[in-house]
Amino acid sequence: MGSKLKLNQKVTIQKESDQNSKFYTSYIAAMEGDTISLATPMHHGRLILFNRGDKIRVYAWPLMFVTEVLSRRLFPHPLLVVQRPRVFIKEQKRAFVRLEASVPVMVWELTGGLLSKPTGTEVKTHTVDLSGGGVLLVYPRDLKPGTWLEMEIDLPKKVRCRAQVRRVEHIEQGLEKVRLAVEFVEITQADQDKIMAFIFERQRELRRRGLL
């Protein structure tokens, strides 16, 4: 599993002691023996100095692992040297990957299955929340679990993917009648990265405003 990590791979760091603590962007600078060196993250132009012995979560989409800071190096570049993990978690915690957000989405139903072409007119709707693995979205009509969809999510960098309805919620709230819990089935790593980048940025903004 360690081979899944790569030099210069972007990661996000969070203190393990507090799931509500801030996320900091970093990258893997070196991998030697039983250790990994991470670039010391910066915030508003200042280094974020984790202490020796601190337990941290490292998110390297789609993996997450918990490790310990062994030492800090300042030269030639500020680095955090951490223990190479033995255990990875493939599915990240819901609190990390899922964000409540209304994002415009266009949906096409694939009545002939995953490999078929879209049929009918696209449905313009919006998400209730989203994550790297799927979305909860408002829909104007009932669909059966297992229905295949093609979707275009209107993020700053648009995401195009194919997905499957996993759950249907009948809510009868205002104009909203149905919500679909949808899982991504065909999505590129680049598009998943776009979603995660959007979530991280929105979380940082909410924290700056004291709303998260």
> Which residue ranges does the chain devote to CATH 2.30.110.10?
2-93
> Which residue ranges does the chain devote to CATH 2.40.10.220?
98-207
Q: Report the distance separating Cα 207 and Cα 201, nearest Å.
A: 10
pLDDT, one tens digit per residue, over 84-113 is 988 776 544 444 467 889 999 999 998 877
pLDDT, one tens digit per residue, over 146-166 is 899 999 999 988 999 999 998
pLDDT for residue 93: 43
Burial track 104-140 (b if 16+ CB lie within 10 A, e otherwise): ebbbbbbeeeeeeebeeeebebebbbbbbbbbbbbbe
pLDDT in tens, the chain (212 residues): 445 788 998 888 888 765 445 778 899 999 999 999 999 988 778 888 899 999 898 888 767 788 999 999 988 889 999 999 887 765 444 444 678 899 999 999 988 777 778 877 899 999 999 988 899 999 988 898 989 999 999 998 899 999 999 889 887 655 567 899 998 888 887 888 888 888 888 888 877 877 65
pLDDT for residue 98: 77
pLDDT for residue 169: 87
Q: H or E segment at 99?
A: strand 99-100
Q: Please provide the CATH number assigned to the domain covering 98-207.
A: 2.40.10.220
CATH topology for 2-93?
Pnp Oxidase; Chain A (2.30.110)
Round to the nearest angstrom and report the end-to-end CA distance of the chain.
33
Q: Is 128 left (phi over 0), alpha (psi -120 to 50) or beta?
A: alpha
Measured in degrees and rounded to the nearest 5, phi and psi for residue 71 equal: -165, 170
Cβ contacts of 133 within 8 Å, gap of 6 or more: 91, 97, 183, 184
Cβ contacts of 170 within 8 Å, gap of 6 or more: 142, 177, 178
209 Cα distance to chain centroid: 21
Q: Supply angle C-alpha 32, 36, 39, rounded to 5.
A: 125
